[in-house]
Structure 1
Amino acid sequence: MYSAACDHLRRVDDRGSYAELHLTLECDRAGVVTSRDVDEDHCAAALDRWLRAHPGRTLTELVVTTSRVHNGSFAPVVDVLARHRPEIVRLGLGALLFPDFERGDHAPTTPSGDGSSWRLSVPLDRVFAAVPALGELVVQCNDIALVDTGPSRVWPKTAHLRRLVLRDEAIDPAVVSALGAGSFPRLESLELWLGRFGYGWGGSARDLLPLLNGPGFESLRRLTLVSDVSDELVDVLADSALGARLWSLRLPFGVLDADAALRLCERWSAFGELRRLDVTGNAIPAAAARALRSKAPDVVNLGRQYVHVDEDPYFAPPLVSLFDAWSSDTCDGGPRH
């Protein structure tokens, strides 16, 4: 839906030698919205014009988002980045609020054929290939995809990436496996919202093994996992190469219960470097929570637990903001850059 009246540029600060840029896939239009109010090609053209007008400018922050219509593909935007190869410190792609892929308050004009099937896609491997010097990447969508899925796939070099946040409603186990085969020599912090990993893909904790034992994460010390997976998760983490060197392990908003808390107590010695364990928002009963906290009161953060009488734990994470992701790494005793 190309229109000269569309303005995909939300905010720009390019007064100095560095710049910050915020664009949207959506076309400005008041009232109800549908997937037809997204024009990723028009958004990509706006980014292309800015990059042509500012050659060589370093972007300290580039954010391309959706706010009302979480539908479309970031592939055209990534194609523009691949052509220009700008230097970007922090890149954010996806929905401003996550997970927010229902119709919400905006009723489509054709309710039977629009809205409920919105899909927002980010080609992850092409992002890394387009901006190899990237320092931080945050993605919030419901289709983190790989373009190259062949057996001879070579993961793009990511020698400068220090922080990676991937939030998906149900991430494909193939993406996790591909990350495990990659090389991230400077990556210090990894946040994976696997989402409905078990329900959507039949995924299990063992699908994390390529990543947890991958040789390309020698600097990784902070790990966050948000998912509907509980069975074997503690043992898989404890037995992994990564578990023994983690400073911070966050497992919030999941389905950990009394059995998982007991297993954390039993395998505590496997996490010898741990300075922070966050299990906020799970389903750990009071007695099990107290026992876990007693292992290391200064390390364990229980937050609020959601225990439902006569019901199994269910996965229902809260809405989070893309901009909150920039500062979601809280102090855990490690160095800051």
Structure 2
Amino acid sequence: MPHLLFTDHRDGDLDELHLRMEPSASGYPDVAGCAAELADLLAAAPSGPRVLTVGTTVRHTARYREVMDVLVAMRPPVERLYLGDYTYPDKWGEVIPEDLDKDGEGWVTEIEVPDEFWPAMRTLRHLVLHGDRLRLHAIRSPALTRLAIRCDTMSPRCVADLGGAGLPALDALEIWLGNYNYQWSGGIFGSYTGTAADLLPLLAADGYPALRHLRCCADIADELVEALAGSPLLRDLDTLDLSGGGLTDRGARFIAANQLAFSGLRRLDLDGNMIGTTGQRLLANTVEVAHLGTQREEFHSKLVKPQRALLFG
């Protein structure tokens, strides 16, 4: 089975299954072959797996629709599902994968989650989707507790999908907006630049009553904290993680001036942003829960290393 990377059994049952889309003769990922292999493996192990990963090491388009079709049709009892890219090659000069033999990065990774996915995956508790082109549609899952949506440049449509989600048990949400201040064109948006205003439906959503931990990596971090300050979502959070984003002294001044809005947090993680010396000193003296870590000079979504352990350790 050319796409099978490894399996792990527990008490004789398949516990973990990891496939990656190897290239076909054309050099593109063999999506159909990988999906067919996944179907065969699931058919041979109806009681598992508990953990399923499907990734790619091919630097060309990888589409996951056929993998999604297999999951919807076969309804495996998966509790933790990881689809897409998990480690970056070092072409950007900043990120070194921990294990090149396990995952890689596709050039364009398209993952569309059909409405039929959610009722088919009733046992799902943790979900990671990582790609360049994501579409979530109507997100409805009464059991999902942790969700990570990771994009280098998230589309406003994907943000809108998150704003309309119904996830009553979700405890932790991770969103990579990446280079969100991007000139989108075509489709229903016409010519459009993503802004923090797109996040308002998410920040005001009532579909996340159990959410206590929010991580958001974005270039528009200054605008994001301004939007968060008036959000009902913020009042219930224990942890707000804005690490690896584009927060500057402007955002630092806003947080310090509106520290009451952030006073319910147990931790505010601002590591890896672009806050200057003045802003760092201001936050250190006024916001006790702020963790500043190490700041940097330039934002790039590739600088943040995607680790499954961030949410799922």
TM-score normalised to the size of structure 1? 0.79
Structure 1 distance, partners of 2:183, 2:82, is 25
For 1:62 and 1:167, the matched residues in 2 are separated by 17
Unaligned runs of 5+ in 2: 94-105, 185-192
* Distance verdict in 2 for CA 1:173–1:204, change over 3 Å: same
Say if 1:281 and 1:304, in contact at 8 Å, map to a contact too: yes
- CA RMSD in angstroms comes to 2.5
Q: CA deviation at 1:264?
A: 0.5
Match among 133, 137, 143 for residue 123 of structure 2: 133
Deviation, 1:244, is 1.4
Residues 274 and 70 from structure 1, CA distance in 2 versus in 1: closer, same or farther, beyond 3 angstroms? farther
Cα 1:232–1:305 shift into 2, 3 Å: same
Counterpart in the other structure of 2:140: 157
1:19 aligns with 2:15: yes
Instruction: Specify which of 214, 220, 244 is matched with residue 211 of structure 2.
Output: 220
Cα distance in 1, alignment partners of residues 286 and 57 from structure 2: 42
Partner of 1:233: 224
1:118 is aligned to 2:107: yes
Distance 1:156 1:257, change over 3 A: closer
Q: Structure 1 residue 271: deviation in Å?
A: 2.0
In the aligned structure 2, how far is the partner of 1:262 from the partner of 1:319?
A: 24
Percent of paired sites with the same residue: 34
**2:212 touches 2:238 (CA, 8 Å); kept in 1?**
yes
Corresponding residue for 1:97?
87
| In structure 1, C-alpha distance between the alignment counterparts of 2:151 and 2:222, rounded to whole Å | 20
Match of 2:55 among 62, 65, 72: 65
Which 4+ residue blocks in structure 1 deviate beyond 6 angstroms? 101-104
8 A Cα contact 2:42 2:48, kept in partner: no
Partner of 2:187: none
Query: Match for residue 10 of structure 1?
Result: 5
Superposed, 1:179-190 pairs within 5 Å as: 179-190=162-173
What is aligned with 1:248?
Answer: 239
Matched to 1:173, the amino acid is P
SS at match of 2:6: strand
Q: Deviations over 1:235-293 (max 9, x none)?
A: 21010110111110111122111111000011110123200101111111112102112
CA contact (8 A) 2:171 2:211 kept: yes
Are the counterparts in 1 of residues 135 and 161 from structure 2 also a CA contact under 8 Å?
no
Offset from partner CA, 1:35-87 (integer Å, 9 cap, x none) = 724101100111100111112x1322100011243521111111001011111
Assess, with a 3 A threshold, how the Cα gap between structure 1 residues 103 and 195 changes in structure 2: closer, same or farther. Answer: closer
Task: Assess, with a 3 A threshold, how the Cα gap between structure 1 residues 140 and 156 changes in structure 2: closer, same or farther.
Answer: closer
Name the CA distance, whole Å, in 2 between partners of 1:196 and 1:21: 32
Determine helix, strand or coil for the equivalent of 1:64.
Answer: strand
- Residues in 2 aligned to 1:103 and 1:245: alpha-carbon distance in whole angstroms: 37
**Which whole-Å deviations, capped at 9, do the CAs of 1:61-120 have from their partners, x for residues lacking one?**
10001124352111111100101111111000111314x59799xxxxxxxxxxxx9311
Matches within 5 A, 1:279-294: 279-294=270-285
More moved, 198-207 vs 257-266? 198-207
Residues 200 and 64 of structure 1: CA distance in aligned 2, closer, same or farther (over 3 Å): farther
Q: Partner of 1:83: helix, strand, or coil?
A: helix
After TM superposition, give the deviation of residue 321 of structure 1 in Å: 3.8
Q: 2:181 aligns with which of 192, 198, 209?
A: 198
Report the equivalent of 1:315. Answer: 300
Point out where structure 1 has 5 or more consecutive residues left out of the alignment.
Answer: 1-5, 29-33, 105-116, 149-154, 308-312, 329-337
Measured against aligned partners, the alpha-carbon deviations of 1:113-168 in whole angstroms (never above 9, x if no partner) come to xxxx931111134543542331001111111124x5xxxxxx24201100001111
**Bigger radius of gyration:** 1
TM-score (norm 2): 0.85
Secondary structure of 2:50's counterpart equals strand
Equivalent in 87, 99, 102 of residue 77 of structure 2: 87
Q: Aligned partners of 2:64 and 2:7: how far apart in 1?
A: 19
**Partners in 1 of 2:131 and 2:140 — Cα distance?**
23
Could you say what secondary structure the match of 2:15 adopts?
strand
User: Take 1:325 and 1:70, find their aligned partners in 2: how far apart are those partners?
Assistant: 27
